Amino acid sequence: SAMGDFIPAKLGMESGEKPIFMRVQKDYPDNEHMIFIFENGKGVRVPLSAYETKAVRRKLQGAYSDASPIVAAFYEEKNKPVDIMMVSSADRAIIFKSSLIPIKTTRTAGGISLMTLKKGQTVTSATTALADQDDKGYRKLKLPAIGTVIAEKDIHAMQLKIE
């Protein structure tokens, strides 16, 4: 039609399925990664080479673990770690470099704990960290980490980034 195609129909998505991340990839180098952040506070870093297939497929199955709902996905270029900010349902946040996440060779690995959560809490969002944001207090050098309560001055900036 003149208005274009409806993406979920064009991609053959199932009911309730929604896109999280999309990337066109021609080659699959070992030193580039996909990073997946899950609602249970875990995350995994998988080399792109794990996604290389020999057969022509219509749809990729088992791209990541289904043990917990996915919150976000990121692409990590060769030698360029991504700063990731995770926010929990308790209004706590952490910022860390993606290079802190160990590499798992299987696509469906459940990952390791990145953020320590109390019972009933979940990760509500994960984004690339704001460059101009004062990340002292949120920046973590070891994982898993307990999130820092989000300061009043940072709430507006974080809401803009998440939306």
User: How does pLDDT run along the chain (163 residues), one tens digit per residue?
Assistant: 577 788 778 878 888 888 888 888 788 887 899 999 999 999 999 998 888 877 776 667 777 888 899 999 999 998 899 999 999 999 999 999 999 999 998 888 888 999 999 999 999 999 987 665 567 789 999 999 999 998 877 776 665 555 5
The predicted model scores a pTM of: 0.84
Query: CA-to-CA distance for 76 and 55, rounded, in angstroms?
Result: 25
Query: CA-to-CA distance for 45 and 100, rounded, in angstroms?
Result: 9
